[in-house]
Each structure stands twice: as structure tokens, then as C-alpha cells.
Amino acid sequence: MTISPKGLIYTDYDQLLADPNVDGVYISLPNAFHLPLANRAMRAGKHVLCEKPLGMNAAEVREAMAVSKETGKILIEASWNRWHPRTKRIQEIVQSGKLGKLTRIRTAFTYDGLDQSNIRLDPTIGGGILYDLGPYSTVAPLWLTGFPEVTEMEVQTVWHPGGVDETTRVNYKVGGVPAETVTSANIPVSLWMIVEGTKGSVRTGGSDSFVSLNNPSTLEIEIQGKKKVERFDACDPYQLMADAFVRHVRGKKDWVMPLEESLRFAELFDAAFALMGKPN
């Protein structure tokens, strides 16, 4: 069921996509259904904000990019943490060169106790922890460093009995910098993003690196022996993302995550899944 701007309730997607009063849609379906509905929506004249991952592989993302170009409709992957002021600040610090030559990047997004019936573990609809949490932590070294070449990837996986990954460690080099990442649904909650360089380091405070929502947050910075903590007011990155999407649709200049970044993420996942193989 979906609700229109006028409060009308739709019982199927055809009704929604046929409504000329709807300019854009937000797609939050299970992973495997993102691309088909995104393409339908764009061809029906709607702009699209689509949950991550945008597609199940790089080929699907390229297809969606082609439909966006063909129709002239905006397509944005809803990686909401990218709109958080703290996220933007850590990227600014890393890319400013203040940390010197980067030596290591570490990220983690894990939780424990996922119900075995949860759709995130259903292989028929795009389940698996790398698809679920990887768009946050696994890809962070890419956008932090400006998307240089990825090399020397290694993958370690713990398989869920249903046939999807429930813990995945993906280590790789990004522009020659070692990146160590972990996602899991069976490790106690742990979220961090740490970047180290020859002149200093920066890390997210607390355990909310990718999920800071309506709570204050911190960034711990050490440069040439001097330490400081930057504090960020509580905010709703979902709202910031949605507002940016609407402004972009209306032709106003605002940062939105480029589709080229979504493609690089998908290519990274493709490489990881190829090394992951299949469960025994």
C-alpha cells in the first residue's frame, strides 16, 4: 500500500505510477525488487530515490543508469548516512591531506540476534549481510579516498544455513591503502570508521558510525599529536537526504550521491561475491 501527496491510498503500483500528481517515488522494497520497480517508475515519468543496494550487481546498476539517461529522470541511491554532517566532515578531513599519507582504513557494522525469518536472510529476494550493511561500511574506504583503484581483495565469509552470508570480512587496497571491513548479523553490535595516516587519525566516536539518527554524535581527531573532539548536533540524515532529493528534482543545486558512485560500489560487491563463492 502506498499513499499519494493528496492522501490517496493505492493498492497497486500501476495506480501510483499512473498518477500525474506524483513526481517522485521512494523505493524501499527488498533488494531484488529495486531495479525492476525503479526502471518502471522512471519510464512512467517519476524521479526515483531507491534504497541501497541500487541493483544486485553492476550490470543492473548500468541498466538503471541507462534508463535514467533515456528518460531524463533522476535516480539516487538512498545511502542516507552520506548526508550526515559528520560523514561529510570525515570525508573532508581525509581528502584534505591533513592526515598525511594514508596508512590504513578500518570500518565495521555488525549486530547480533537477527531473527532467522528476517527477509535480510532470504536468498530469493537478495538477502545477505554484505548487501544489507556493505553499502555503509564495506564501501566507505572508496568514497573516503575519492574512488581510486581497488586491488588485492580478500574475502572471508561465515554462511547462514539459508545460503546467504551472515558475516563477511572484505579486505582490499584502495589506491594502495589497506582497507579492513567487516559486516555481520552474528557479532555483537560494533560500528566504527577509523582512518589512519602518517600525520594523524580520525575516527567516529561512540558506536554509531553509520546509524547516527536524531542523536548527537562526535568525531575524534588527532593530527601531529594534537587531539580534539568535534561535536555534531542531533539530526535526521533521512530527512536531509529526502530534502536534497526534492530540491534536486526541482532543479536546484544540491549534493546528491552520483550514480557513478553506486556503480563503483556494485563493482566492489561483484568482486567480493566472486571471491566469496558458494556455501559448502
Question: 251-279: string of b/e by CB count within 10 Å (b at 16+)?
Answer: eeeeebbebebbbbbbbbbebbbeebeee
**Residue labelled with grid coordinates 490517496:** 8
**Terminal-residue alpha carbon distance, the chain:** 39
**Residue labelled with grid coordinates 561512540:** 206
Nearest to 193, CA basis, from 80, 51, 77, 86: 86
What totals of helices (H) and strands (E) does the chain contain, helices first? 8, 13
Is 52 assigned a catalytic role? yes
C-alpha cell recorded at residue 143: 568514497
If one counts every other C-beta atom within 10 angstroms of the C-beta of residue 183, the result is 27
Rounded to whole angstroms, how far apart are CA atoms 140 and 235?
A: 21
| Per annotation, catalytic residue among 52, 252, 253, 278 | 52
Q: What is the DSSP string of 85-134?
A: HHHHHHHHHHHHTTT-SEEEEEEEEEEE---TT-GGG-GGGT--HHHHHT
Catalytic residues: 52
